[in-house]
A and B are shown apart, each in its own frame.
Chain A
Amino acid sequence: MADKKNQVSRRQFLNYTLTGVGGFMGAAMIAPMVGFAVDPLLKGEKDTDYVYVMDVNEITNEPQRKTFQVDQVDGWYESKVDRTAWVYKDENDEILALSPVCTHLGCTVDWNSNQDFPNEFYCPCHDGRYDKNGVNIPGTPPTEPLHSYDFQIQDGKLMLGKAKARKGA
């Protein structure tokens, strides 16, 4: 008798197999749907999109504020959003394009806007400060440098990509 219990009858076997396959098919069908549903959330900005911002020969040593538009997929909505960059050449004549988003809590920083702190990026929200290279000044709330945009130069035109956190400092 004990033997019989452990045996899988033909019908049971078929049953198992069918549920197995059914389950498997179900999974296959659900997977793409989940894919659709989750996809927009995962997409964000594409890493490869570069947008023209200004001509390279217009770039000075003084940071200039430039606004440009990017396609952004924000959750369910795809829209054009404005981005701002502070564009300039540093002391080594390297191009820098900094994001104005304060690394503390996200207010918009301004260049040279506070008389008490000339030649710095200044955040009006909690007196956050960054030196000309966008590196946060210790003792002020921000904990990391301003992010910088990836960029490419094509035929003398400066194209900006995504803003990324910088190492160092």
Chain B
Amino acid sequence: MKYSSKDVVAYSKAKEYIDTAIIPLIPFSFEDEEMSSLSFQKDVIQIYVDQIERELKGRVFVIPEYYYLKQDKIAEEKERLQAFIDHIAKQPFKYIFLVTSDNKWRKVTKDMDIELIWIPGIKDGHLEQAETQQVIKSQVQEIQTLIMDSWNE
């Protein structure tokens, strides 16, 4: 499911079946050096998330992206993110996954009750290549297995 008017109707009717939330964490910046790589990262994450959503639509809800400024202090960000997560957990969502390629989150989220899915950065501009698409496909598969495994635990 996505946060779209069509899907939320289905969600409200079947809440008990949709117990897993995915939150994409997306940094952005207008610094010249960072802008192109960050915007590309954002595209990549969206591809991953879309693919996962497509496969697991009936149980996974993709939350609207959590955006933050790249230069923001991560400690302050953590508080805001925690509030965001608390709100989502209340719906309730039993399993919460954060998806990001910003490695600042790795340490910060250790003590949080969520799972961080780390997506390695892909080099700029290669998304159309068959090879890259293969890599993405197999990684999506892995993430899917990871999510399914946590259901079966």
Contact = CB atoms under 8 A, between A and B. Distances in A.
Contact of A102 (B10, B14, B58, B148): B58
Nearest to A82: B54
B148 A105 contact: no
B132 to A, nearest CB: 16
A124 B17 contact: no
A119 interface: no
Contact of A126 (B10, B55, B59): B59
Interface residues of A, number: 11
Interface in A79-138: 102, 104-108, 123-126
Contact of A105 (B10, B54, B55, B151): B10
A124 B10 contact: no
A124 B18 contact: no
Nearest to A101: B57
A105 B10 CA distance: 8
B55 A108 contact: yes
A108 B54 contact: yes
Interface string B86-125: 0000000000000000000000000000000000000000
Q: Taking chain B's interface residues, is the majority helix, strand, or loop, or is none over half, making it mixed?
A: helix
Interface in B1-58: 10, 14, 17-18, 54-58
A141 B54 CA distance: 19
Contacts, number: 33
Which among A107, A123, A125 has the greatest number of chain B C-beta atoms within 10 A?
Answer: A125
Interface residues of B, number: 12
A106 B57 contact: yes
Which among B14, B56, B57, B58 has the greatest number of chain A C-beta atoms within 10 A?
Answer: B58
Nearest to A126: B17
Nearest to B59: A125
Contacts of A106: 57-58
Contacts of B148: 124
Nearest to B56: A107
A105 B57 CA distance: 7
A125 B19 CA distance: 10
Given A124-B148, A125-B17, A141-B17, A107 B10 contact: no
A162 B14 CA distance: 26
Contacts of B14: 105
Interface in B133-153: 148, 151
A62 to B, nearest CB: 21
21 contacts: A104-B58, A105-B10, A105-B17, A105-B18, A105-B57, A105-B59, A106-B57, A106-B58, A107-B57, A107-B58, A107-B59, A108-B56, A108-B57, A124-B56, A124-B151, A125-B17, A125-B56, A125-B58, A125-B59, A126-B58, A141-B17
Interface of B: 10, 14, 17-18, 54-59, 148, 151
Interface of A: 102, 104-108, 123-126, 141
